[in-house]
Amino acid sequence: MVRFGIVGFGLHAEKRMMPAFSLAKKSRVVALSRRTMAKAKESSQKWKIPFAFDSAADLARSPEVDAVFVTTPNKFHFADVLTVVAAGKPVLCEKPLAMNAGECRQMVEAARRAKVPFGVAHIFRFEDSVGSIRKKIQAGQIGTPIFARSEFSFPGGADHPRKWLHNIDVAGGGPIMDIGVHCVDSLRYILQDNIVKVSARAMYEKLSGPMETAATLLLEFSRGTLGTISVSFRSGYRTPLEFVGTDGVLFADNGLTVERPINIQLLRNGQIVESETVSNTSAYAIMLDSFADSLEGKGKFPAPAEEGWQNQEVLDAAYRSLRSGNAEVVHQVT
C-alpha cells in the first residue's frame, strides 16, 4: 500500500481524488497540505486524513508519506514538484505539467538526476473509452487514420469555483492550457503518434482578458494524420471524440467523460457496424494504483512526466501560433 500526501488539497482533491482513493486498492491518503495550517487541519478533520501541513516541503519530508500528488494551481507545479524531488519522494503532478516547456524540462531533468519517479496525471490515459478506441485503431479497424477530432467545453465562467482559472499569471492560459492539454494528450496517446506542427485561432472576450475564451487548433501528426481540437469555457460540458480512417469511423459522444457510460460506435459507409458501451468511473483509481504499482516494480506507469512535457511543447506552439498567425513547429522531447 503506497501512502500518498496531497499538496494543494482543494476542489480537485475533494471532487475527484478522495472518491478515487476510496476505490483504489493499492493507494491511500495519509497527509495533505494547504496554504494555512487552519485550512489544512479543517480538511484533514473533514476527510479523516491523519497528517496536515501548511507547506509542500514539510509534507514531502514526512516519513509517513511514500509519494506525493501535486494538485496546486498551474503556476505552483514547478516549485512544488522541485520541492518534492529535493526530498527524494516519487511525485505525480496534475496537468498541465507546468506553465511552459522550459519549466517542464527543468522538472524532468531534476527528477532524472535525483532518480525520483515522476508522472503526470493525464487521467484519460486510464479511461476504458480511450483504451478501447486506441486498441481498435491499432487493430486496423478504421484503416489508416486520416482525421482525428477531440473537443472539450465546459461552463467556466466568473462563478466557477476555480477562481484562478481567469488569472493568466496563475493559469498560464485559457482553455488551451486547462482542457486543450487533455485533448492533445488523448489524440497523441490514441494514435500513438506525435504532433509536429500546430496552427491555432482563438476567440476573446471581456471576462477572459488577455486569455482565450475559446480556441481551435489544427494539428499535423508525424505520420500524416490531421487533427482538430476545439475548446471553450463558454458552452455546456461536451467531449466528443472522432477518428476517420480509410476504412471506417470511430465516434464516441462525450468520449472523455467520467460521469456516465460512453457508447463507442464503429461506422462503415455511414452505417453502424459495431457498438460498445464502456464506463470510465474508475479511471482515477486505476491511475493511482498504476502509479503505486510502478513504484513497487510491478509495471510501467503509462504517463511519465516526459509525456506531460511533450504535451506542453504542443501548447507552447499553439500559443506561438496565436501570436504569429502562422503554423508553428512543435519541438520534440528527447
pLDDT for 329 equals 98
pLDDT for 92 equals 98
114-128: average pLDDT = 98
For the chain, the average pLDDT equals 96
User: Looking at the chain, how many residues does it have?
Assistant: 334
Q: What residues contact residue 15 under an 8 Å CB cut-off, 6+ apart?
A: none
Nearest to 255 by CA among 96, 120, 128, 123: 128
32-50: average pLDDT = 97
CATH code linked to domain 127-280+312-329: 3.30.360.10
Distances (CA, A) of 38 to 33, 54, 65: 10, 8, 21
In which band, very low, low, confident or very high, does the pLDDT at 226 lie, cut at 50, 70 and 90? very high
In which band, very low, low, confident or very high, does the pLDDT at 180 lie, cut at 50, 70 and 90? very high
Position 284 pLDDT exceeds 80:
yes
Position 158 pLDDT exceeds 80:
no
pLDDT for 117 equals 98
2-120 topology per CATH? Rossmann fold (3.40.50)
CB 41: neighbour CB atoms within 10 A? Answer: 16
Position 140 pLDDT exceeds 90:
yes
pLDDT for 102 equals 98
251's enclosing H/E stretch is strand 249-252
Intervals of CATH 3.30.360.10 along the chain: 127-280+312-329
272-299: average pLDDT = 97
Interstrand relation of 226-232 and 271-278 (parallel, antiparallel or unpaired) = unpaired
pLDDT for 163 equals 79
Distances (CA, A) of 284 to 23, 308, 331: 9, 17, 30
Q: What is the sign of the dihedral through the CA atoms of 170, 173, 179 and 184?
A: negative
Nearest-angstrom CA–CA distance, 318 and 229: 11
CB 131: neighbour CB atoms within 10 A? Answer: 19
73-90: average pLDDT = 98
Per-residue pLDDT of 298-318, as tens digits, reads 999 999 999 999 999 999 999
77-98: average pLDDT = 98
Intervals of CATH 3.40.50.720 along the chain: 2-120
pLDDT for 334 equals 86
Position 49 pLDDT exceeds 90:
yes
Per-residue pLDDT of 195-208, as tens digits, reads 999 999 999 987 77
Buried-state track 174-188, b at ≥16 Cβ within 10 A, e below 16: bbbbbbbbbbbbbbb
Nearest-angstrom CA–CA distance, 114 and 178: 29
In which band, very low, low, confident or very high, does the pLDDT at 143 lie, cut at 50, 70 and 90? very high
Note whether 296 and 303 are within 8 A (CB).
no
Nearest to 185 by CA among 175, 199, 195: 195
42-49: average pLDDT = 97
Interstrand relation of 91-93 and 249-252 (parallel, antiparallel or unpaired) = unpaired
